[in-house]
Structure 1
C-alpha cells in the first residue's frame, strides 16, 4: 500500500468522533484510490500502542466485521453509547459522516 493512501486512511480514522461509526467503504470513498479492503488492511497493520479509534469502523451492512477484535470493538462502541439492534446492526443515526 502506498504511504500516501495509508496516511489518508489514518487521517480520516482519527476524525471519527466518539459515539459515531463509519464503514470501510465510506473511508475508501474519501481517499484517492482506496478500497474497503485496503482500509481493512491499513487497520490490521496499525502498530501496537496506537491511539486511533479503529473500533469505530464497521461493515456496509452496519455490523462488526468478523475478526478476533470484534468482542472488544463491540464493548468499546457500547461504552461510547453506540447501540446495536437484535440483528447486531448499528443504528443508522450513528453513521459518520
Structure 2
C-alpha cells in the first residue's frame, strides 16, 4: 500500500485559491481601511496555510477552519445569507494562530 506524503499539495492549493478568490471579490467592493484589513487577513491566512502544510492534521484543521470562516457564509451555502464580517474572520484567524502557539501567524514559518 502506498503512503501519501503530506506536503504543500492539493489541499494547500485549494485553500490558497479560496482565499485569493474571496479577496478578489472583496476588492471589487471595498476601499480604504476595509480593503487594507482584507488584504492583511488574506496574507496572514496564506502564510498560515503554507506554514502548516506539513503539520499535524489537527493544526491544518485549525487553519482550514479560519480560511473557511473568511470565505464562507454562516449557517449554510444559501447565497441570500449575509457574509461574515472581516473583523469576525480576523478573530477566527487570531484564534487559530493562538491555538497553534503563535501570537503572530507570520511566526509559523
Normalising by structure 2, report the TM-score. 0.24
Q: Normalized per residue, which structure has more strand? A: 1
Q: Normalized per residue, which structure has more helix? A: 2
Normalising by structure 1, report the TM-score. 0.26
Higher-Rg structure is 2
